[in-house]
């Protein structure tokens, strides 16, 4: 039997927005998102891709038809507003049933639909059925690193007027090789730092400038999006550096935080060495052994 865990709305947001070449939502064994509210509430509005769950005559939740719980990587449940695993909330009851056959922890969204939909209203839907083609055409949003303030993504996301408006983005940090952005929003502040995705490229000398820029915007509550061409190497390295600077994380802690938010992040080896130098600069010590294969 798997465990039942509480998860923040931002964790569900990031789960929905994972992608490699295609959105991970198109992977049949990736995610099962369960809505444990009454059917009427589900029909009125729910989180995209969520399935409604039924109860038997005794009021016990049933595993949704066609769902092979034991083969799923992520199982997430929400109800109206459950915020704790204590008590007998609908989401907790449902998660307990699913955990009996799951091989991975079952997550209950803290604050339920009420909180998630308030934070991410653009992920509300009334659509019930999705084809694999529709899921494959889903356009992921940037992952959220600091709730409501800091996001990390790719060039497509940084040039999408819809995404920038939905996230209320006020500033962009462009660490691609190209500084040419075609944007209609004149209210955006853009910091261009051209960095090649090469093990010999100099990222380190730009980190203080980048961190100061991001910090100045976060200080006044302005949302910032860091991006590179693919959103995997350069942007993740810079984001890790900012977490080390802003939150005083070790490289290891910042790395793990980044990996939790974006599973396929991968700074090149040269950037890893520069992040180790940045750890020494920001914390006064190298507490992370980057010779481990993990890095």
Name the residue with higher pLDDT: 176 or 179: 176
pLDDT at 267 over 70: yes
Q: What is the pLDDT of residues 276-288, one digit of tens each?
A: 999 999 999 999 9
Question: Quick one: pLDDT band at residue 184, thresholds 50, 70, 90?
Answer: low
Q: Tell me whether residue 294 is in a domain.
A: no
The whole model's pTM is what?
A: 0.95
Residues 110, 43: one domain?
A: yes
Instruction: Using alpha carbons, list the distances in angstroms from residue 124 to 18, 46, 80.
Output: 18, 5, 14
Is the distance from CB of 16 to CB of 49 less than 8 angstroms? yes
Residues 121, 158: one domain?
A: no
Is the distance from CB of 185 to CB of 192 less than 8 angstroms? no
| Among candidate residues 90, 107, 136, the one where a domain is terminated | 136
Output the six-digit token pair for 36: 């444990």
Q: What is the mean pLDDT of residues 13-31?
A: 95
| C-alpha span between 6 and 30 (Å, rounded) | 19
pLDDT given at position 103: 93
Question: Quick one: pLDDT band at residue 99, thresholds 50, 70, 90?
Answer: very high
Helix/strand/coil percentages in the chain, nearest 5: 40, 20, 45
| C-alpha span between 150 and 211 (Å, rounded) | 12
Residues 75, 158: one domain?
A: no
Residues 264, 151: one domain?
A: yes
Residues in the chain: 295
Residues 168, 207: one domain?
A: yes
Question: Quick one: pLDDT band at residue 183, thresholds 50, 70, 90?
Answer: low
Alpha helices in 53-191 (DSSP H): 90-99, 112-119, 132-136, 155-158, 161-166
| C-alpha span between 93 and 36 (Å, rounded) | 9
pLDDT given at position 187: 82
Residues 86, 17: one domain?
A: yes
Place of tokens 């639909």: 113
Q: What is the pLDDT of residues 71-94, one digit of tens each?
A: 999 999 999 999 999 878 999 999
% of residues, the chain, pLDDT over 90 = 88
Domain harbouring 21, CATH code: 3.40.250.10
| Among candidate residues 102, 136, 170, the one where a domain is terminated | 136
| Among candidate residues 83, 116, 136, the one where a domain is terminated | 136
Q: Tell me whether residue 81 is in a domain.
A: yes
Alpha helices in 106-168 (DSSP H): 112-119, 132-136, 155-158, 161-166
- How many separate domains does the chain show? 2
Domain harbouring 199, CATH code: 3.90.190.10
Q: Which domain holds residue 76?
A: 4-136
pLDDT at 55 over 70: yes
Residues 267, 198: one domain?
A: yes
Q: Where are the beta strands (DSSP E) in the chain?
A: 4-7, 31-35, 46-47, 51-52, 74-78, 106-109, 124-125, 143-146, 150-154, 169-174, 189-192, 223-228
Q: Tell me whether residue 171 is in a domain.
A: yes
């Amino acid at each position: 039997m798997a465990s039942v865990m509480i998860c923040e709305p931002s964790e569900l947001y990031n789960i929905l927005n994972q992608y490699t070449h295609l959105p991970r939502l198109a992977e049949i064994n990736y995610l099962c998102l369960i809505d444990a509210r009454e059917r009427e509430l589900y029909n009125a509005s729910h989180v995209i891709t969520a399935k409604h769950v039924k109860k038997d005559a005794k009021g016990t939740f049933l595993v949704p038809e066609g769902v092979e719980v034991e083969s799923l990587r992520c199982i997430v449940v929400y109800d109206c507003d459950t915020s704790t695993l204590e008590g007998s909330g609908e989401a907790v009851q449902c998660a307990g049933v699913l955990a009996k056959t799951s091989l991975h922890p079952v997550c209950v969204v803290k604050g339920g639909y009420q909180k998630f939909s308030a934070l991410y209203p653009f992920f509300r839907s009334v659509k019930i059925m999705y084809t694999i083609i529709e899921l494959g055409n889903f356009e992921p949003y940037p992952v959220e690193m600091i709730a409501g303030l800091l996001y990390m993504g790719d060039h497509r996301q940084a040039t999408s007027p819809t995404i920038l408006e939905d996230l209320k983005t006020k500033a962009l940090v462009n660490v691609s090789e190209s500084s040419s952005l075609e944007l209609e929003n004149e209210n955006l502040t853009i910091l261009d730092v051209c960095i090649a995705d090469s093990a010999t490229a100099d990222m380190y000398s730009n980190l203080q400038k980048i961190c100061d820029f991001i910090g100045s915007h976060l200080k006044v509550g302005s949302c910032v999006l860091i991006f590179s061409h693919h959103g995997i190497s350069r942007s993740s390295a810079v984001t890790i550096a900012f977490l080390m600077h802003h939150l005083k994380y070790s490289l290891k802690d910042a790395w793990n935080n980044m990996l939790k938010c974006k599973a396929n992040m991968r700074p090149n080896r040269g950037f890893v060495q520069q992040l180790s130098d940045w750890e020494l600069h920001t914390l006064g010590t190298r507490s992370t052994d980057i010779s481990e294969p993990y890095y």
